[in-house]
């Protein structure tokens, strides 16, 4: 489950995203006895162009929240944010820039 909000503010577009994910690190998973799994990659695209890419390790918080700003895109365009985790599951969401 994820929520994305993209808004234009003074010429830049600010994007906020929240994803519900356990983000189990190696240490936590070992103690709890479950398989480790965390989001590893975030990509945002507008049209065919990649506007944002972020690769992370195991140390983001549970239910991670990210915010970023981009330039060169405008109101009304569609932005797609995709995340991918260690087990291969992906999810994406498309929003219109407000």
Partner 1 sequence: MQRRSFLRLSAMAGVFAMVPYPLKAVDFRDYDVKFWDASTVPQAIKAMYGDKPLIESDKVKLIAHSYAANNLKIPVNIQSDIDAKSVSLYQDSNPQSAVGVWTLNKYSVIDFQTRVKVQSLGDAVTFTLVVEGNDGKLYFAKHRMTVAKGGCIDEFYKSKA
Q: Catalog residues that contact partner 1 under the rule CB under 8 A.
A: 12, 25-28, 30-32, 40-41, 43, 46, 49-62, 64-73, 84, 86
Backbone region of residue 73 per phi and psi (left: phi > 0; alpha: psi in -120 to 50; beta: other values):
beta
CB of 57 to partner 1, least distance (A): 5
CB of 94 to partner 1, least distance (A): 16
CB of 96 to partner 1, least distance (A): 17
| 52 touches 12 (CB < 8 A) | no
Sequence-separated (6 or more) residues with CB below 8 Å from residue 34 = 24
90 token code pair? 């992906």
């Amino acid at each position: 489950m994820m929520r994305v909000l993209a808004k234009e503010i003074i010429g830049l577009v600010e994007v906020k995203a929240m994803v519900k994910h356990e983000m189990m690190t190696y240490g936590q998973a070992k103690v709890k006895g479950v398989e480790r799994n965390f989001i590893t990659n975030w990509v945002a695209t507008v049209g065919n162009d990649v506007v944002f890419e972020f690769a992370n390790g195991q140390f983001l918080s549970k239910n991670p929240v990210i915010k970023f700003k981009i330039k060169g895109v405008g109101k009304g365009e569609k932005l797609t944010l995709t995340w991918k985790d260690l087990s291969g599951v992906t999810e994406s969401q498309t929003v219109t820039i407000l």
